[in-house]
Chains A and B, each alone.
Chain A
Amino acid sequence: MIQIIFCSLKRLLRNTTNMFWILVFPIVLGTFFYIAFSNLGASESMSTIPVAVVLTDDYYGEALKQTVTQLSEGEDPFLDTTFCSKEEARKLLENGDVCGMIQSGSQAKLSVSANTAADNIKQSILAAFVEEFNLRCDLLIDTMQKHPENAEMVISAFQNPHAFNEEVSLQKNPNVDTYTQYFYNLLAMACLYAAMAGVIVAVENQGNLSTLAARKTVSAQKKSTLVIGELIAAAFFEFIMNLAGFFYLAYILKVGVDAQLPYAVLSLFTGVLTGVSLGFFFGTLGKKGKEEKTGLIFAMIMPLCFLSGLMVGNMRVLIDRIAPVVNRINPAALIADSFYCLSIFEGHARYTRNIVTLLLLSVLFIGLGILKTRRSRYASI
């Protein structure tokens, strides 16, 4: 058995195609994901908004000037204000130097550029700010007109605003970026690519599919020993390859896939085992050769990864709504969800369910594969 494992490992090491898809491709793709997504959080997070302000020479102009000046001060101000004329403000808006132009008056008015999609959230925040400013002006005027005796109390309450709302984080670690899920799915894809090694084990143990298998069939070694030895070698080798990719993502790119490290490594191993067993079972079906079956297994893995969210981030939740059973049995979704659970939740209930399902799937695939290959007789090869 040990010799079988050793020889299989040597052969796997020489398979450059396998090395590329398991080791190089996830690392390359992971690096590109990292480059592309590293600024997404920053671009969506709150930052200072550049704005042009056009003031009128009256009380409203003075009130707006005081408010925006207050909001433009400090270390991390809300606004970066440029006071200028209307023409200058329009020019700044056209050049994209500011997100909006605020003009004072009995009602402050916001103007934005119509052909800007990138700044929509900032424009919306500016709109909310202008609305709030108008609301307060109206409030003061209403109070002065209807309850002038309370005006002083209202002005004093302005200075001490209540905090009506507080934040409660649902995640264990609130800093886990939503784009991290692409890396969970990338790891799931790399695990399932181990299926290629499984296909090779299956094809190279069926006498009618390769000359090597025909030679093995007539050897004195028991077929189950051969198959199990090669499967162990394949799972071990692919696990090491995946571990290298995992450590690259976790410790070089630092994308936060390593929450609860021992459990994360267990997820990786279970994922690889499922990949190898899936490939082994698939390899025992039909009489196609290694190349065709490898092509077909790729064609099968990509839709699984698509359904778990490798290409479209929120796919997993959509599937959960339409057909939740798919997420319960899709190996890619189970592997990605295991990493997600470790990063987000305190408990391990959902994680354990994912790992147990993956192990059951592995046992099922290997069992079916062995049943399919055992006691085969070939009248003519």
Chain B
Amino acid sequence: MQVFNIFFKIAKKHLGQVFIFSGVFLILIFLMSISQSRSLSGDFSAKKIDITILDEDHSVLSQSIRDYLGSRHNLVTLEKTDTESLTDNLFYQQISYVLTIPQGFEAHFLTDSPLKLSHSIRQDNANGFFVNEQLNSYLDSISLYCTGGYSLADAIAATDQNLAASPKVEAITFQKTADSGNTTMFYWFQYMSYIFLMIFSLSLVPILVTFQQTDVSARISCSALPAQSRTLQLGLGCICYSILTWLVFTLAAVLFFGPKNVFSQQGQLCMLNSFVFTQICVAITLLLSTFGLKDNSLNLISNIIGIGMSFLCGIFVPQWYLSTGVLAVAKFLPAYWYIKIINMVTGWSGESYSLANYWKYIGMQCIFLVAIFSVYLVANKQRKRASLA
């Protein structure tokens, strides 16, 4: 097992890359765990929007607006409320809606020319539209009650009473897997695909390229070791390396999220999915190794493959945010099917879980695995022919 032993000796030298990307991975997971707000519970909760209200009127009506919006959204009080600070907070998504209630709003509310509230929103999302709808409907109701003969205070009370009596939204749960209850764990599996793409190409390719160097390859060829055994040992090295890496990350997941979560039905489905994807990463690595790339070129290609697949297939940006054109291209990449499984198992994308679809998506990944491996075999044969010529 000379070749197998040397394989791991060289692997040791490239552990730096593995540690760097493991660090990046842990930072990503940490950031996701503090910013994640998804709930997998069956209840519907309407989207809460961060709103800043600048109340210059300080009246009963302005207070009722505050109370109404506060009961449905998050009211954010900013230290500075000058235009520059408000613009910064709006642009960087700290708040989504700025409402200014002008002085004299209540006094002019029931006149023929009422003062208008002014609001500022970002143009690129529907949150502002949503708040506008709610606010207009609320004020419209108060105004109509007043037209119907109610006093302002009674109109506010009647509107609030009707709002409280409005039926709750029913959330229907369609067929779903047994819930693990831990959302961060799915981010773990999601980002693991990017890390594996990078780790394998940056740490495994240099090992394989070393064995392909003309002198090393010639020295091994003229030894007593049969060529078949050499290939087998190298293949075994790759398989052991990939399984070892996958096991380390899976065990780390068990440590972070507990065996109850990782071995739940959802966890097991994700584990199998990640194992298949690991083998795809190895196949890509083998293919890359046939080109005999130097460090700089390898860095370039690995980054393009890793970051490219991450952006196109929904690892960094959720698939439902990507355009249909991008998704059409992504379907020809294995990471798309990997992420599709995670989205289906968690229900994030709205696709109901079905075992048939799960195996279909696993099957798609297996087809990619076979295809990439076949290309590797052909490319490897070509490379050997070229080196002999």
Query: A residues near B, CB below 8 A?
Result: 16-17, 20, 24-25, 28-29, 32-33, 35-47, 90, 93-94, 96, 107-125, 127-132, 134-136, 138-139, 142-143, 146-147, 149-151, 153-154, 157-158, 161-171, 174-179, 181, 309, 311-314, 316-317, 320-321, 340, 344-345, 350
Separation of A78 and B311 alpha carbons in the complex (Å)? 31
Beyond A115-B350, A167-B120, is A125–B126 a contact (Cβ under 8 Å)?
A: yes
Separation of A127 and B166 alpha carbons in the complex (Å)? 10
Chain B residues lying within 8 Å of A162, measured Cβ to Cβ, are 114, 139-140, 143
Indicate with 1 or 0, residue by residue over B144-166, a CB within 8 angstroms of chain A CB atoms: 11011110000000110011011
Q: Is B87 an interface residue (CB 8 A)?
A: yes
Q: Once the chains bind, are A32 and B311 in contact (CB under 8 Å)?
A: yes
Q: Is B214 an interface residue (CB 8 A)?
A: no
Contact of B350 among A29, A113, A169 (CB under 8 A): A113
Q: Once the chains bind, are A112 and B172 in contact (CB under 8 Å)?
A: yes
Apart from A40-B317, A163-B136: 17 A-B pairs, beta carbons within 8 A: A24-B300, A36-B317, A36-B321, A44-B127, A45-B124, A107-B166, A109-B167, A114-B347, A115-B176, A136-B144, A149-B149, A163-B116, A166-B117, A167-B120, A170-B90, A314-B94, A344-B87
Chain B residues lying within 8 Å of A135, measured Cβ to Cβ, are 137, 141, 159, 162-163, 166
Q: Is B169 an interface residue (CB 8 A)?
A: yes
Beyond A107-B167, A112-B172, A164-B136, is A16–B296 a contact (Cβ under 8 Å)?
A: yes
> Max chain A CB contacts within 10 Å: which of B87, B150, B166?
B166
CB distance from A52 to the nearest CB of B (A): 12
Q: Once the chains bind, are A111 and B349 in contact (CB under 8 Å)?
A: no
Separation of A314 and B96 alpha carbons in the complex (Å)? 13
Chain A residues lying within 8 Å of B296, measured Cβ to Cβ, are 16-17, 20
Q: 4 tightest A-B contacts by CB? A: A115-B347, A44-B125, A41-B124, A132-B137
Q: Once the chains bind, are B162 and A39 in contact (CB under 8 Å)?
A: no
Q: Once the chains bind, are A164 and B124 in contact (CB under 8 Å)?
A: no
Q: Once the chains bind, are B300 and A147 in contact (CB under 8 Å)?
A: no
Q: Once the chains bind, are A90 and B172 in contact (CB under 8 Å)?
A: yes
Q: Is B88 an interface residue (CB 8 A)?
A: yes
Separation of A119 and B351 alpha carbons in the complex (Å)? 12
Beyond A41-B125, A124-B130, A167-B119, is A20–B300 a contact (Cβ under 8 Å)?
A: yes
Contact of A320 among B42, B88, B351 (CB under 8 A): B88
Q: Once the chains bind, are B174 and A94 in contact (CB under 8 Å)?
A: yes
Separation of A340 and B136 alpha carbons in the complex (Å)? 33
Identify 9 residue pairs between A and B in the complex whose beta-carbon atoms are under 8 Å apart, listed by A's number.
Answer: A94-B174, A112-B172, A116-B347, A134-B167, A143-B144, A154-B148, A168-B119, A171-B87, A178-B122
Query: B residues near A, CB below 8 A?
Result: 31, 35, 38, 42-44, 46-47, 79, 83-84, 86-94, 98, 100, 114, 116-127, 129-130, 132-137, 139-141, 143-145, 147-150, 158-159, 162-163, 165-167, 169-174, 176, 296, 299-300, 303-304, 307-308, 310-312, 316-318, 320-323, 326, 347-353
> Max chain B CB contacts within 10 Å: which of A28, A43, A108, A149?
A43
CB distance from A347 to the nearest CB of B (A): 9
Separation of A111 and B349 alpha carbons in the complex (Å)? 18
Beyond A41-B124, A313-B93, A320-B88, is A93–B172 a contact (Cβ under 8 Å)?
A: yes
Beyond A39-B322, A171-B91, A345-B87, is A120–B47 a contact (Cβ under 8 Å)?
A: yes
Beyond A111-B169, A177-B124, is A161–B140 a contact (Cβ under 8 Å)?
A: yes
Q: Once the chains bind, are B47 and A124 in contact (CB under 8 Å)?
A: yes
Q: Once the chains bind, are A112 and B169 in contact (CB under 8 Å)?
A: yes
Chain A residues lying within 8 Å of B126, measured Cβ to Cβ, are 44-47, 121-122, 125
Contact of A167 among B121, B163, B312, B326 (CB under 8 A): B121
Contact of A44 among B124, B310, B312, B322 (CB under 8 A): B124
CB distance from A239 to the nearest CB of B (A): 23
CB distance from B326 to the nearest CB of A (A): 6
Q: Once the chains bind, are A121 and B130 in contact (CB under 8 Å)?
A: yes
Separation of A29 and B311 alpha carbons in the complex (Å)? 10
CB distance from A115 to the nearest CB of B (A): 3
Q: What residue of chain A has the Cβ atom nearest to residue B351's Cβ?
A: A96
Separation of A123 and B43 alpha carbons in the complex (Å)? 13
Chain B residues lying within 8 Å of A179, measured Cβ to Cβ, are 124
Q: Once the chains bind, are A112 and B170 in contact (CB under 8 Å)?
A: yes
> Max chain B CB contacts within 10 Å: which of A36, A143, A162, A169?
A36
CB distance from A333 to the nearest CB of B (A): 12
CB distance from B312 to the nearest CB of A (A): 6
Chain B residues lying within 8 Å of A38, measured Cβ to Cβ, are 323
Q: Once the chains bind, are B323 and A39 in contact (CB under 8 Å)?
A: yes
Q: Once the chains bind, are B312 and A32 in contact (CB under 8 Å)?
A: yes
Q: What residue of chain A has the Cβ atom nearest to residue B350's Cβ?
A: A116
Chain B residues lying within 8 Å of A147, measured Cβ to Cβ, are 148-150
Chain B residues lying within 8 Å of A32, measured Cβ to Cβ, are 307-308, 310-312
Q: What residue of chain B has the Cβ atom nearest to residue A137's Cβ?
A: B162
Q: Once the chains bind, are B93 and A314 in contact (CB under 8 Å)?
A: yes
Q: Once the chains bind, are A166 and B348 in contact (CB under 8 Å)?
A: no
Q: Once the chains bind, are A134 and B162 in contact (CB under 8 Å)?
A: yes
Separation of A110 and B44 alpha carbons in the complex (Å)? 11
Chain A residues lying within 8 Å of B139, measured Cβ to Cβ, are 162, 164-165
Q: Once the chains bind, are B167 and A114 in contact (CB under 8 Å)?
A: no
Q: Once the chains bind, are A143 and B148 in contact (CB under 8 Å)?
A: yes
Q: What residue of chain B has the Cβ atom nearest to residue A29's Cβ?
A: B307
Contact of B148 among A117, A119, A139, A350 (CB under 8 A): A139
Q: Once the chains bind, are A117 and B136 in contact (CB under 8 Å)?
A: no
